[in-house]
Structure 1
Amino acid sequence: MIIVDDEDIIREGLRDYVDWTGKGIKICGEASNGKEALQKVREVKPDILLTDVVMPGMSGLELIQAIREELLQIEIVVLSAFENFQYIKSALKYDAVDYLVKPFNEIELEQVMEKVVAQVKRDKRIAEFVPKEIRMTEVSGTRDYRISQEVIKLIEQRYSEKLTIQDIADDICLSINHMSNVFKKETGETVADYLTKVRMFHAKRMLQDPFIKIYEIAVDTGYSDPNYFAKVFKKYTGLSPKEYRDQL
């Protein structure tokens, strides 16, 4: 994570008096203005940016906009005083994950950072499934892109449930046809194929543990019928779950 704030006391306090290691975060840089921060983001490529919005020179909003225009994959948390809440609303339009209103306490910081760390982990898992050329060429501000990302995140979060395409469409308040068409256009895959891909990825991961029963893996990847799970797995990998495990 990179910390950005033009007030030295706030920046140093965030850097030195928070147990970032305990939160699974490493501070890899800091900056006192947006221009300096943008350069560090380009060089270091952090997972998280914690930035003030009101700064001289390049503001936090200009920094966030520049990051999004350059399609840099980074989760952003904004800091702002309550009287500048309009800045926070603007930052959220640029897909900031969350915000903290100064002065904030450790509990508020803990809650926000837990959410952000979880989002970073989801992003890394999503990157394993979505081709890089697709991720890098999409403009993150477009509505269709946001819809496709919501579908991806929902599947990654709920693949272990008896999740249907209708469930996904209902969750993001779209018709199946509209959601399916947008997702296909944005990713080149159908929603059903993507759901299967995620489930098979996790099935293969769990098969590496010989102590997990195959029927348990079926249930944990959203299949109530182990025989149907085995059929889908073989169609996807060319091997039965047992054959796949035996070859490891």
Structure 2
Amino acid sequence: MWKLMIAEDETTIRKGLRFAANWEDYSVTIVGEAEDGEIALEMAMERQPDILFVDINMPFLNGLELMKALREQLPEAIFIVISGYDEFSYAQQALKMDAFDYLLKPVNKEELIKTVKKAVEILEKNNRRRQLDLQLEDNKALLKEKFLQEWAAGMAADDEVRKQSQLLSIQLEGPVGISMFKVVKEIEESVTQEQWNDGLISFSLKNIINEHLKAYPFSEVFEDSLGQMIALLPNVEGEVLMRLNREIKEYTESFLGKVILCLEKIMMTPLELPDHYKKLKEEIASYHSLSPMVILAKDYIDHHYFDPSISLNEVAEMVQVSPTYLSKRIKTELGASFITYLTKVRIKKALLLMKDPHLKIYEIADMVGYSTQHYFCNAFKKVTGISPTVYRGGAKSYE
């Protein structure tokens, strides 16, 4: 049933409109009557009618003012204006304000019913269009997810990528951040009362990522065949990307009570997606060979590298083992000492930040946990074989 409201100050006319027909025969139910414009406005806001009979000449708020006040709140409502012969100038204004029809008093019963039937046809047509739009949108979302999975897996040529991106409204302008999130289901980050199945975990993680990326309208999020969530964020700098990912990780871990692995890279063009996706997938896969203790330690280092005071003792306390024992396990499983691994993480993050030409080298040094530019440059050269200045000059073979 479509909801009809009557706004008319004359009692006789108001009753006449109400009883002009058995409105339910026309899929219409009357949800209210108002005797002046102010009451009509309040009632319409509350009851959200689909069709309104609106008298032009009402006290406090006339019909035109009422239509203007409601048009934004009820964008698809149909206004049928009722007026006297001497108010034709108002009729012109009403039609300019997108009134559906204009009926003169005394209202002809057959003309009124005919107008309402037309209004119902329009409402039903609009409703079918909305349902179709929703179906198309759902189908488009499924097609987009499937295409992004195939593209990331290297199953789409560049020409096909360009064609499908246009068809599916994928707008990835560089630089594009690519992030990979994976829930480590075997390790509990905290004790929770919730029991999460795989489907609910994926659903929650995707919703959390989308919520954090709402301010970035052209971002894309999809799940790959391994249950890993991929986020693509266009026109983003490394500093912003890392901050967003840290927020997503912390929020999700708090919500799910599980460890969330998060890796990111910056692509200078979206056509690099398959290559960067492959590297991130391989890096995530390397966690499978690690013990839960080293996964926790590695994850802690990977997300606290920017703290100049981070230490082996701090990490050991977090995983609740002795520093000596943790040091040995890190060396055995990661193939590097604690300091060496920390240095590699810091330089890896620095490489990502250096894609932003506006950041100074001393700023990057501070952002990855070095108290001075001198220490940073030494560490950078030790890991990459070149200085930060030379790297920025174009010698980027380390990546």
Taking structure 2 as the reference length, the TM-score comes to: 0.32
The one-letter code matched in structure 1 to 2:117 is E
- Is 1:7 aligned to residue 10 of structure 2? yes
1-side partners of 2:82 and 2:27: how far apart?
20
The percentage of counterpart residues that share the same residue type is: 39
Q: In 2 relative to 1, CA 69–5 (structure 1 residues): closer, same or farther, beyond 3 Å?
A: same
- Specify the alignment match of 2:83 in structure 1: 80
State the match for 1:89 in structure 2.
92
Q: Are 1:26 and 2:21 an aligned pair?
A: no
Q: 2:104 aligns with which of 88, 94, 101?
A: 101
1:107 Cα deviation (Å)?
A: 1.5
- Residue in 2 aligned with 1:52? 55
1:3 Cα shift?
Answer: 0.5
User: How much is the aligned-residue C-alpha RMSD, in angstroms?
Assistant: 1.7
SS in 2 for 1:9: helix
Secondary structure of residue in 2 paired with 1:100: strand
2:59 partner letter: P
Q: Does 2:106 correspond to 1:114?
A: no
For residues 26 and 100 of structure 1, the distance between their equivalents in structure 2, rounded to whole angstroms, comes to: 20
Q: Distance in 2 between matches of 1:40 and 1:74?
A: 14
User: SS at 2:33's partner residue?
Assistant: strand
Three-state SS of the structure 1 residue aligned to 2:30 is coil
1:68 aligns with 2:71: yes
Q: 1:59 to 1:128 in 2, by over 3 A?
A: same
Asked whether the 8 Å contact 1:31–1:37 carries over to 2, the reply is yes
Q: What displacement does 1:130 show? A: 4.4
The whole-number CA distance in structure 2 between the counterparts of 1:77 and 1:121 is 17
> How many correspondences in the alignment?
132
CA displacement, residues 120-157 of structure 1 (integer Å, 9 cap, x when unaligned): 111212222446xxxxxxxxxxxxxxxxxxxxxxxxxx
User: If each structure's helix is expressed as a fraction of its own residues, which one has the higher value?
Assistant: 1
Deviations for 1:138-192, whole angstroms, at most 9, x for unmatched residues? xxxxxxxxxxxxxxxxxxxxxxxxxxxxxxxxxxxxxxxxxxxxxxxxxx8xxxx
Match runs of 1:1-248 below 5 Å: 1-130=4-133
Aligned letter for 1:121? E
CA distance in 2 between counterparts of 1:122 and 1:35 reads 31
Q: Which structure has greater strand proportion?
A: 2
Distance in 1 between residues matched to 2:18 and 2:31, nearest whole Å: 10
Q: Which runs of 5+ in 1 are unaligned?
A: 132-187, 189-248
Amino acid at match of 1:61: L
Contact 1:99 1:112 in 2 (8 A): no
Q: Which segments of 5 or more consecutive residues in structure 2 lack a partner in the other structure? A: 135-168, 170-399
User: Within 2, Cα distance between the matches of 1:27 and 1:46?
Assistant: 9
1:210-243 C-alpha deviation (Å, 9 max, x unpaired): xxxxxxxxxxxxxxxxxxxxxxxxxxxxxxxxxx
Once the two structures are TM-superposed, the CA of residue 29 in structure 1 deviates from its matched residue by 0.6
8 A contact 1:5–1:51 mirrored in 2: yes
Q: Counterpart amino acid of 1:18?
A: A
Structure number with bigger Rg: 2
Shift of 1:12: 1.4
Alpha-carbon separation, structure 1, partners of 2:133 and 2:68: 24
Task: Work out the CA distance in 1 between the residues paired with 2:8 and 2:109.
Answer: 18
State the shift of 1:45 in Å.
0.8
